[in-house]
Each structure stands twice: as structure tokens, then as C-alpha cells.
Structure 1
Amino acid sequence: MIKARIIVTLKNGVLDPQGKAIEGALGGLGFSGVGSVRQGKVFDVELEDSDRAKAEAALKEMCERLLANTVIEDYSIAIT
């Protein structure tokens, strides 16, 4: 079994209204010194395959086809 964590974030330069709202809320709660906040998504995926190369290819395809909008989002894959 292979376990992976996929992190999807907005590309630099893409507006992040949810991140801005969180940034404002943190300030409203008294947390000073927060420069900026960007939000993203995390997916923990378990694959039954034990072939690391095949798993990496499958995970990349999952990101390209469903998990990330590659026009505005970047993703990273960490296999553990």
C-alpha cells in the first residue's frame, strides 16, 4: 500500500478572496503581524498498488484530471 499527500494551492498572482477573508478575521481576533494568508486543499490518498512509479503516475493523473484546476492551481505530491 502506498500513502500520499497532495497539496493544491493557488498559483502566485491568482487572487485568493478566501485567504484575504481569513487574514481579516485573524486580525479581528487580535492576531497581529499576519502578513498574508493563502488557502489551499490537502488530499490524503491511499493506493493499493505497491509500485511507486505506477502510483506516482496515477497520482499525477488524478491531479491533472480532477483534484487541481491546473490553469489557476499548482499541486505537489509527497509519497510516504
Structure 2
Amino acid sequence: MYKATIFVTLKESVLDPQGVAVKGSLHTMGYSEVSDVRIGKRLEVSLDASSQAAAEEAVTLMCQKLFSNPVIEDFRFELEEV
């Protein structure tokens, strides 16, 4: 069994309106040292796979087909055997 921790973030070239709003709130709260905020998603997926390579392939396909929008988002993941 494997556990994948997946991180999906907007590409650097894509404006992040949520991040801009959070940055503004942080500045209002007195955290003027914050220069940028980017909002993303974190997912955890447990899967049965015959090998680490099979798990990596499955998670990559999941990310490409469902968890991320490849036009505006990037993804990366960490895989551990549990």
C-alpha cells in the first residue's frame, strides 16, 4: 500500500485572486513583511499498487486527468510506502 501526498498549485504566470485577498488581509492585520501569497490544494490518496513505479504512474494519471487543470495548474507529489 502506498500513500501519495499531492500538491496542486497555480502556475506562476496565472493570477491568484485568493492569494491577493489573503495577502491584503495579512497586511491589514499588521503582517507587512508578507510579499506574496499563493493558494493551492493538498490531497492525500491511499492506493494499493504492485510497485512504487505502478503507484507513481497511477498518481500521475490521476493528477493529469482529475486533480489538476494542466492549463493553469502544476502538480507534484510525494509517495511513501505504508
TM-score by shorter chain over 0.5: yes
**Counterpart for residue 42 of structure 1:** 42
Q: Is the 1:6–1:76 Cα contact (8 Å) retained in structure 2?
A: yes
CA displacement 1:25-77 (0-9 Å, x = unmatched)? 11111112000101100001111224111110100000010000000000001
Q: TM-score with structure 2 length normalisation? A: 0.93
The amino acid that maps onto 1:67 is F
Q: Whole-Å Cα distance in 2 between the matches of residues 65 and 76 of structure 1?
A: 14
Alignment of 1:20-39 (within 5 A): 20-39=20-39
Instruction: Report the counterpart of residue 10 of structure 2 in structure 1.
Output: 10
1:61 matches 2:69: no
Structure 1 unmatched runs, 5+: none
* Unpaired runs of at least 5, structure 2: none
